[in-house]
Amino acid sequence: MPITLSTQGLRRAAAAGATVTLSFALMACGAGFDAQTSQPYQPAEGTNVDSGGIAVRNLLVLASEDGKGELHGVIVNKGTTDDTLATLDAAAADAPATPEAEEPATITVGNDRPMTLAAGSTLTLPPPTGQPFTVTGGKPGEMVKVTITFAKAAPITVSIPVLTLDHYSPTPRDDAESHG
């Protein structure tokens, strides 16, 4: 005896099939290498960058309005061999767009010295003992291009933000327009 479905049963079967098909289609939207949940998320203000087994995390400059500041961040040696932080060099992140524009600031790094990065260890900047790496010329709200050279790992060049000493982006100037 053949099985027959009533019109109502046929509609229910079609709705169930459409629901299953739609659910598979929606699941596919969030899958794959480009899914939002597969993308890196950095909740910190600083910049993260890697070079081989060396990971630099939350690198930034905290500076006063006159452009005198300190380099902050963490350098992690995830490798199995020791390395050395050899030198730090800094420059303005963006050159002027036109010849009439202001010249980029001269950025200098002070207290630059080699520091050991033992395998599996972490180096905090500024270091808990000794002088911090000073950065002169980068003002809050600007970006500074920093090149970090290691004895073994490839050099890293990255743009990092300059924040105010209280870790915030600069407040608007007194002469700025009010949007309130």
What's the pTM value of the predicted model, to 2 decimals?
A: 0.67
pLDDT in tens, 2-28: 667 678 877 887 888 888 887 777 666
Q: Which domains does the chain have, with CATH numbers?
A: 7-38 (no CATH), 47-164 (2.60.40.1890)
Q: Tell me the one-letter amino acid at 174.
A: D
Q: Based on the number of CB atoms within 10 Å of its own CB, is 110 exposed (0-12), middle (13-18) or buried (19 or more)?
A: middle
Q: Based on the number of CB atoms within 10 Å of its own CB, is 101 exposed (0-12), middle (13-18) or buried (19 or more)?
A: exposed
pLDDT in tens, 113-154: 899 999 999 999 998 888 899 999 989 989 999 999 999 999
Comparing C-alpha atoms, which of 27, 8, 29 is closest to residue 19? 27
Cross-strand partners of 9: none
